[in-house]
Structures are given as C-alpha cells and as structure tokens.
Amino acid sequence: MLSYIKKQSIHHMIKTISLQEYCHLDDILKNYFYISFNIDFDGTLNILALVEEPQYRTPDGCFVIPKTKNPHTFKLFFPSSLREVVTIRDVWNYHFASLLNNNEVLLACARSNHEEKNVKIYDESGQLQREFCFGEGIEDIQVSEDSLIWCSYFDQGIFSEDKIGHPGLNCWNVLGEKVYSFSAEKGLD
C-alpha cells in the first residue's frame, strides 16, 4: 500500500519523529498507473499517473523512450491540498510534475534528443502555455516558492553531447530562461 505520511512533530536533540498517515495513495491510484510523486516547497504532494499502461522503455527494457507515437492521458493529483485533478494529453513520457505558484503545472521528461523541448508548462485546464528544452539526463526537478525551477542532472546529462546539463545543476525561471548554473571550484570538476 502506498501512503503519503505528513510529518507531525520533531523533538529537539532527541531526533524522535512522529508520523501521521495523511491519505491512502492506493485509493487515489486504483484506476491509474503510477509514474512519480513530488513534494513541493509548501508540502503539497503531487502525484503523476497515466490512464493507459506506460510505454516508457524499449521492448527489451534497456532504453527510455522520450516520446510515443500516440498521445496518452496523464492525470496529476494534489491530494494533500485537496485540489482537483489536472488532465493532460501528450506524446511525451513525463517523469516529473510540479505545481508553480500561479497554479500552472510543470511536466518534464528526463530525456530529450538534440534540444527537443522536454519541459512543458500547462494551465489548470491542461492547455499548453510554454515549452522549453532543459536538456538530456534530468535527475530531479524542484520548484521554489518564487517559481524558480531547479534542475539537477545525472551522468548522461552531465557528460552528454548536449551541453545544457554539463554543470550538473541549473536554475530556470518560468519563461525558460536560465538564471543560474553550478560552477565547480577548481579540482572538483
């Protein structure tokens, strides 16, 4: 059983953590295929799921498929804030979902081929508003309170021909403009 547990209290110096069950994810996802979850800056739980069976890998299971030929239906749930579901149809295989502070939804695919736009921002009704290329090999995406989008990369992003992920960590604004890139001190690269 999948459960989202919200932290209730932490006692100073004793390191005791009390947990309280918040919701049963099995109830929410019983008719869907779970893809990922993310906890936003304010503690909001976002769950990304598919209506259809996922087609994220090649038949041999070795490689990730960034896009499919036919669109599939994504559902984005916000059970911790009791928000309604956002439905999005697209050919991309998304791995990450996050809510921006203006109630837009960010979806991102960890993979891209040659600067394809693998990050998309939708409005609450599921209509595409903007799209950007954040590069190949995305490890994780977190959105800050001021809607800055922090994007980390794994080895295939850092060492790929696509130079976007070479720093290992980039920060973007909601217009897709890079506002920060990590730069290692000498000897740490």
Q: Which amino acid is at 123?
A: D
Q: Which of 37-46, 60-69, 118-127 has the highest mean pLDDT?
A: 118-127
Query: Which whole number is the average pLDDT over 67-91?
Result: 84
93: buried, middle or exposed (CB in 10 Å: 19+, 13-18, 0-12)?
A: buried
The reported pLDDT for the residue numbered 42 is 82
Rounded to whole angstroms, how far apart are CA atoms 102 and 123? Answer: 9
For residue 4, pLDDT beyond 70: no
- 81 pLDDT tier (thresholds 50, 70, 90): low
Tell whether pTM > 0.85. Answer: no
Give mean pLDDT, residues 157-183: 92
Q: Say if CB 150 and CB 169 are below 8 A apart.
A: yes
Distance, in Å, from the CA atom of 138 to the CA atom of 162, rounded to the nearest integer, reads: 12
Question: pLDDT, tens digit, for every residue of 122-135?
Answer: 998 999 999 999 99
Which whole number is the average pLDDT over 135-148? 94
For residue 2, pLDDT over 90 is answered with: no
The two structure tokens encoding residue 161 = 């021909």
- Distance from C-alpha of 46 to C-alpha of 39, rounded to nearest angstrom: 6
pLDDT the model gives residue 1: 45
Closest CA to 46 of 100, 109, 98: 98
Mean pLDDT of 54-83: 85
Share of the chain above pLDDT 70, in %: 86
- Residue at token pair 């897709």: 176
29: alpha, beta or left? (left if phi > 0; alpha if psi -120 to 50): alpha
User: Nearest to residue 7, comparing CAs of 18, 37, 15?
Assistant: 18
The token pair at 137 is 């090999």
Given a cut of 50, is residue 138 above it in pLDDT?
yes
